[in-house]
């Protein structure tokens, strides 16, 4: 149920915000930055770009602590200022895996702040393992692991 909710939420967020922030379908980050900087209505949050032309995962409102996570193509992964996002690793990994297989039994479990929840599981195999906040595996997968 949580996976279905997350998938629906992600689809809604992408469809509602993709025209506004920060990505324009088929447009790289530097081009989007140029377009948005020339339009006063879109200067509220100019995207930050990576050297390879993709979007920096964490995008923040200038002068505030309100940030959001975006995919490399600029698709929003979280709503701006909705939660106190401190990292985007888990949301990014979830999005990449969800694009490959939205019904994957091993979609990562993310904390509200964008870090990985300590307990991760493979529902199909019935095993779980512990990870740190960055997703680095700390224990081997086991049917006996119920908490971290």
**Would you give per-residue pLDDT tens digits along the chain (148 residues)?**
455 444 444 444 444 444 345 555 568 899 989 988 888 776 677 899 999 999 999 998 888 778 899 999 998 999 877 678 999 999 999 999 999 988 888 899 999 999 999 999 998 999 999 999 999 999 999 999 999 9
d(CA 59, CA 22): 9
In the structure encoding, which two tokens stand for residue 127, read together?
């095993």
Spans of all domains in the chain: 2-104, 118-148
* Residue 20, pLDDT score: 47
d(CA 62, CA 135): 28
* Residue 51, pLDDT score: 96
Residue 17's alpha-carbon distances to 43, 55, 94, 129, in angstroms, are 15, 15, 19, 34
* Residue 50, pLDDT score: 96
* Residue 23, pLDDT score: 54
């Amino acid at each position: 149920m949580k996976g279905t909710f997350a998938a629906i939420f992600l689809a809604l967020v992408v469809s509602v915000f993709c025209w506004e922030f920060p990505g324009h379908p088929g447009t790289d980050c530097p081009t989007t930055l140029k377009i948005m900087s020339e339009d006063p209505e879109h200067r509220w949050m100019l995207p930050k770009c990576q050297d390879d032309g993709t979007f920096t995962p964490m995008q923040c409102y200038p002068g505030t602590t309100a940030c959001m996570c975006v995919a490399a193509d600029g698709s929003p992964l979280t709503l701006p200022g909705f939660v106190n996002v401190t990292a985007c690793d888990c949301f990014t990994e979830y999005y990449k895996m969800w694009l490959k297989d939205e019904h994957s039994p091993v979609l990562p479990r993310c904390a509200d702040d964008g870090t990985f929840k300590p307990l991760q599981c493979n529902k199909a195999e019935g095993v779980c393992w512990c990870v740190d906040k960055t997703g680095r595996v700390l224990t081997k997968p086991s049917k006996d692991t119920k908490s971290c």
